[in-house]
Structure 1
Amino acid sequence: MHSHHSHSGQYCTHAAGQLEECITEAERQGFSLFCLTEHIPRYELQDLYPGETQTLDDLTDMFTRYHKHARALQARYKQEKRPMQLLVGLETEYIRKPDLARLDALRESFPVDFMVGSVHHVDGIPIDFDKATFLKAMEPFGQDISAFYKRYFEHQLEVMQTFQPAVIGHFDVILLMAPEGTDLLAHEAVCRQMQRNIEYAVGYGALFELNSAAFRKGWDCAYPSRAIIRLMQDAGARFCLSDDSHGPKQIGLNYAKMQAYVKEVGISQLHHLEASTGELIGGRLQVKVVGTDMEAFFAFKARGET
């Protein structure tokens, strides 16, 4: 089993548990690869979420401590020849354009093995926090709903072009708070933008994560949703698996549902990252992509489905 996307309460303000508890649980479940991908810091007071008591300096310090701790655990697992490989990464943000330059500096100071390329905001406003904030993000676009969704994917493409993240995170999370029945493919401009993003990511070799967190959010599928999976398949996309866990209790959660979903959409091969040369290029260690037959991958006792 693999997960390319995880968080811990020790280093994420909306997660639970300690980092080592998360790693121990993944090892207990028989994961062969578990990736640590905490959020990067935020840099503006207005970007703190409701209920967050941390300061901006706290968030920066949290990431600094995460990087040191994660690297130490990774080295220990490697030295002890443990069967589970750890990769140390980060999850990107696009709140405002200056944040991209800040991330560029961050990865030079704190090199990671890879990045999960994610977007959680449109023009500075969160789109996956709650319904009220999602509607606030939509307001400036008035009746031009197509422009709102397109802007999200424009931000996503800019993250891809700037950093070429090895994994594309929850590609269509913009739909999480959207009105039921929203069909992105019905908006021609949005569909073209999605196709452009997909083709760009395929072109440089990215993996698209199949993210099981959508199940615990109430979806009957993973991210990406069915219609978008078909767009990706038509473009020759490769897929990897993520639980996007936010604590030990969510590790491997709903992977049985994921197995059924992967079969339903006709994905016959999953891919994953492995450490490669160890050479540092552009603030990242080089990783390689390995393919695994879907049936062999899911030869495990799946965890719960709630």
Structure 2
Amino acid sequence: MNNQQYVSVHGGHSGQFCHHAKDMLEDIILKYIDLGYSWVGVTEHVPAISKELLYPDQVEAGFTPEFLMDRFAGYVEECRRLQKKYADTITIYTAMEIETYSGYDTFIPMLLERFQTDYIVGSVHFVNDMGFDYSLKQYDNTAKSVGGYDTMYCRYFDLQYDMIKLLKPSVVGHFDLIRIFDPEYRFRLRKPEISKRVVRNLELIMDLGLIMDYNLRSLLKGADEPYITDSILRMAQDMGIKVVPGDDSHGLDNIHLNMEQAVKTLDSLGFDTNWPRPQIYSY
């Protein structure tokens, strides 16, 4: 490795601002500092656009889109404060992880204009306005509603392509998240109708010079490899696409987990470990 310092391009979710995370944001920043991270992107989830698109745990907690919008505003304010407070020790990016559902094409630009975050992580967690990553039951229900796993994969990658083309996110989050509950994903990703979409999306990422998130959170959920799966990761390397690790941490206890092995993997494949930084939005 040319650079021994660690980074996370997608991480820093906290219980302070995310219902399915834990711990206070400042404590999370202090742990990154203790571990010697040179920079970290704090990429909190955007608020829901409507009550129909709340996550099941948010519904159970009685949250509303208005509450989530206010909490997100508090997140940006607090992250900016920490950005300044620890500027001599670590570079903190105040960023946001977006959603891709009906209305996002105007909702996300509105959030960017209002909050002026440093960058966005372009993620897809919904297909046809139905979530798929919350549970196996939800995953199977969404697949069934659109005509099966293959169709769900195709629609996922089509949504991802449209989102990347429209918003040009500095970071593309967990590129192949759609495989989250599919034990046959390696086989499925090779199917022609799916594979051609993967290649198409990679070509767009390459042309736009975006970063792909090498996302480690899948390992915490029992997967045997991060997002991006090895076959796609090698294609990205062959195309010269920038790939940077993200721990996608949701609390103190999973910051940095599996990071050392991830860095070794990326280094062994020839990725630049003088980690390229996300392009900061100009407003």
TM-score higher than 0.5? yes
Could you say which residue in structure 2 is the equivalent of 1:290?
A: none
Structure 1 stretches of 4+ moved >4 Å: none
Counterpart residue identity of residue 258, structure 2: N
* Superposed counterparts of 1:272-287, under 5 Å: 272-273=276-277, 281=282, 283=283
Q: Which amino acid aligns with 1:93?
A: E
Question: Which AA in structure 1 matches 2:100?
Answer: Y
Q: Quote the residue 2:263 is aligned against.
A: 259
Query: Residues 243 and 271 of structure 2 are in contact (CA less than 8 Å); yes or no, is this contact kept in structure 1?
Result: no
- Alignment map for 1:3-152 (pairs within 5 Å): 3-6=8-11, 7-52=13-58, 53=61, 54-78=63-87, 81-82=88-89, 84-96=90-102, 98-143=103-148, 145-152=149-156
C-alpha displacement at 1:181, in angstroms?
Answer: 4.8
* Residues 158-182 of structure 1, C-alpha deviations (whole Å, 9 max, x = no match): 1111111111110001001113454
Q: Deviations over 1:112-132 (max 9, x none)?
A: 111111111111111111100
Structure 2 residue ranges without an equivalent (≥5): 1-5
Q: Which has the higher contact order (CA 8 A, sep 6+)?
A: 2
Does 1:218 pair with 2:227?
Answer: no
In structure 2, give the amino acid aligned to 1:87: Y
Cα pair 1:2 1:272 within 8 Å, conserved: no
Percent of aligned positions that are identical: 30
- SS of alignment partner, residue 51 of structure 1: helix
Aligned to 1:173: 177
Partner Cα distance (2:96, 2:140) in 1: 28
Separation (CA, whole Å) in 1 of partners of 2:243 and 2:168: 16
Structure with bigger strand share is 1
Does the 8 Å contact 2:245/2:259 carry over to 1? Answer: no
Q: Distance in 2 between matches of 1:95 and 1:179?
A: 26
Query: What's the TM-score once normalised by structure 2's chain length?
Result: 0.91
2:136, 2:262 → 1: CA distance?
26
Q: Deviations over 1:213-252 (max 9, x none)?
A: 1211111211101111122123221111110000111111
